[in-house]
């Protein structure tokens, strides 16, 4: 492992941001700005069912009445919502049976990203639904999933093929009235993923989607909907890298997860949008609403996230534990460096009896960055015998960085137990000294200690992701040693 780390750090020390390149693919764009016409344009372009136009317009009208929230511990230049292109699609939408038919440019993009589709297909057993500029262009393994009755497709395809399912579940966890960015997403979202696991089906492979922001000036608004029927299981991965750009890009996604009786959903994500340069110019604004509901008894949802990218991150993957005996988990590593800002955490809303939740959050801030954990644990009056354990630690590297913890704990019954603990400290001098006197240089020693510190969370990731995540941690902290 140590050897790996060394190699990785050396390799990456030479490049600033490996994933900063730009692929020239013709896109079909909506004119800049946001009006009801833009929404009709998107709806028409995507040939969506009628209920979608109604939904989008309602969301848009509601959004117009809302004010952008300011309570998060982040600062950024005001966003001009009329200066964003709300729809950009690859020119044609090809339907591929195999990889040979895929646009070679696209394949090249993926190769640069280090995710060769073929290899992944065979070695990892991962079905990849690659989202390129909001429209999904390649879906693999679809057939073998279809045999089990699993639906894993882009959101637009789902709207064509299974409108009833989408209509039934969409916006039931995150209504368009939820918050400013959720309303915006509901009005203009272009694509995303849809997963449906039928009753009693154990999904045989990890489902994975790679997101990329591609065309300049395109805000990407994705929407993911995962429905796990009674007794089913699915593990879903989402990872993202973005090309280097100088102007800020807005990313306002929605993820909704619905787990029925005895179902289990594991959602993992590695987020590495472009964080901006060392002076803090450029970079992605990542304002995401993620929420899952354990609807009936014994359901379980688990969020695992590794956050290394974005100039500004503002997201709280949340869980509503509605059924009795439900379980919620949140594991997070958030790294900020240079001028990055992150305000992230979770909400655990306990409504069912005997519900359990665990929160492990590890924040690492270096350079001039600010990293905040903000979380809510709410035990309602009915959630008797419920249990929560939260641990959120912060590690500070460098005297210009900031680490903040804002936990909210609301308990309204006597039989629930809530425990919260948090520590903030700098990297241990003893550990550093030990590593140094064993001949490990400073940068590697820090990489090692940080990886050890984040181990609790990293080990929750699926194997392929764990490797990538470790690389990312080391890259993100490059140059932070003073």
For 181, half-sphere exposure in the C-beta direction (CA atoms, 13 angstrom radius) is 24
Burial class (CB in 10 A: 0-12, 13-18, 19+), 167: middle
Instruction: Using CB under 8 A, pick the residue from 68, 118, 421, 441 that binds other proteins.
Output: 421
Which among 340, 329, 451, 450 has a CA at the least distance from the CA of 403?
340
Instruction: Using CB under 8 A, pick the residue from 6, 235, 413, 431 that binds other proteins.
Output: 413
* Ramachandran class of 217: left when φ > 0, alpha when ψ lies in -120 to 50, beta otherwise: left
Tell me how far, at minimum, the Cβ of 379 lies from other proteins, in Å.
8
By CB under 8 A, which span of 74-82, 117-125, 301-309, 419-427 interacts with other proteins? 419-427
Q: Where are the alpha helices (DSSP H) in 330-438?
A: 429-437
Nearer of residues 225 and 418 to other proteins, judged by Cβ = 418
Q: Is residue 411 part of the contact set for other proteins (CB under 8 A)?
A: yes
Region 71-90 residues binding other proteins, contact defined as CB under 8 A: 71, 73
CA 312/CA 321 separation, integer angstroms = 29
CA distances from 416 to 91, 351, 367, 376 (A): 55, 11, 40, 15
By CB under 8 A, which span of 27-35, 76-84, 189-197, 420-428 interacts with other proteins? 420-428
Tell me how far, at minimum, the Cβ of 378 lies from other proteins, in Å.
9
Q: Is residue 66 part of the contact set for other proteins (CB under 8 A)?
A: no
The β-bridge relationship of strands 341-344 and 417-426 is unpaired
Distance of CA 75 to the CA centre of its chain: 21
**470 token code pair:** 């470790």
Q: Is residue 431 part of the contact set for other proteins (CB under 8 A)?
A: no
By CB under 8 A, which span of 28-36, 107-115, 139-147, 409-417 interacts with other proteins? 409-417
Q: Is residue 477 part of the contact set for other proteins (CB under 8 A)?
A: no
Q: Is residue 419 part of the contact set for other proteins (CB under 8 A)?
A: yes
Q: Is residue 405 part of the contact set for other proteins (CB under 8 A)?
A: yes
Nearer of residues 121 and 420 to other proteins, judged by Cβ = 420
CA 76/CA 403 separation, integer angstroms = 18
CA 470/CA 478 separation, integer angstroms = 13
Chain length of the chain:
482
Nearer of residues 89 and 403 to other proteins, judged by Cβ = 403
Instruction: Using CB under 8 A, pick the residue from 14, 65, 75, 414 that binds other proteins.
Output: 414
Q: Is residue 125 part of the contact set for other proteins (CB under 8 A)?
A: no
Instruction: Using CB under 8 A, pick the residue from 123, 417, 436, 463 that binds other proteins.
Output: 417
Note the residues at the interface with other proteins (CB under 8 A). 71, 73, 379, 381, 384, 394, 396-426
């Amino acid at each position: 492992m140590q050897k790996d780390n060394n190699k990785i750090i050396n390799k990456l020390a030479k490049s600033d941001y490996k994933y900063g390149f730009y692929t020239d693919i013709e896109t079909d764009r909506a004119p800049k700005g946001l009006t009801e016409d833009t929404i009709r344009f998107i709806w028409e372009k995507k040939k969506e069912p009628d209920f979608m136009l109604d939904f989008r317009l309602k969301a848009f009208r509601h959004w117009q009445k809302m004010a952008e929230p300011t309570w998060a511990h982040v600062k950024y230049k005001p966003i001009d919502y009329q200066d964003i292109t709300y729809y950009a699609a690859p020119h044609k939408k090809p339907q591929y049976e195999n990889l040979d038919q895929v646009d070679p440019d696209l394949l090249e993009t993926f190769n640069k990203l280090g995710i060769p589709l073929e290899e992944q297909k065979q070695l990892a057993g991962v079905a990849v639904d690659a989202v390129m500029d909001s429209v999904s262009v390649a879906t693999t393994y679809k057939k073998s999933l279809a045999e089990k009755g699993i639906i894993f497709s882009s959101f637009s395809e789902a709207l064509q093929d299974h409108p009833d399912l989408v209509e039934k579940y969409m916006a039931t966890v995150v209504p368009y009235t939820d918050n400013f960015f959720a309303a915006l997403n509901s009005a203009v979202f272009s694509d995303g993923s849809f997963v449906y696991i039928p009753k009693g089906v154990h999904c045989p492979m990890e489902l994975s989607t790679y997101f990329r922001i591609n065309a300049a000036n395109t805000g990407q608004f994705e929407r993911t909907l995962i429905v796990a029927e009674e007794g089913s299981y699915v593990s879903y991965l989402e990872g993202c890298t973005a090309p280097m750009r100088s102007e800020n890009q807005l990313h306002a996604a929605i993820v909704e997860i619905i787990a029925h009786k005895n179902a289990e959903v594991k959602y993992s994500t590695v987020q590495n949008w472009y964080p901006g340069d060392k002076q803090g110019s450029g970079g992605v604004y990542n304002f995401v609403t993620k929420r899952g509901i354990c609807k009936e008894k014994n359901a379980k949802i688990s969020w695992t996230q590794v956050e290394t990218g974005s100039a500004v991150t503002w997201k709280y993957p949340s869980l509503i534990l509605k059924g009795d005996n439900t379980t919620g988990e949140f594991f997070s590593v958030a790294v900020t460096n240079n001028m990055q800002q992150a305000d992230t955490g979770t909400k655990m809303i306990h409504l069912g009896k005997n519900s359990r939740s665990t929160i492990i959050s590890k924040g690492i801030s270096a350079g001039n960055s600010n990293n905040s954990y903000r979380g809510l644990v709410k035990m309602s009056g009915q959630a008797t015998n419920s249990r929560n354990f939260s641990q959120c630690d912060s590690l500070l590297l460098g005297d210009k960085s900031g680490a903040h913890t804002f936990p909210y704990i609301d308990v309204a019954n006597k039989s629930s137990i809530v425990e919260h603990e948090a520590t903030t400290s700098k990297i241990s001098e003893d550990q550093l000294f030990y590593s140094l006197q064993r001949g490990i240089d400073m940068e590697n020693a820090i990489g090692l200690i940080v990886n050890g510190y984040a181990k609790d969370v990293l080990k929750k990731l699926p194997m392929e992701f764990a490797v990538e995540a470790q690389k990312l941690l080391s890259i993100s902290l490059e140059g932070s040693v003073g």
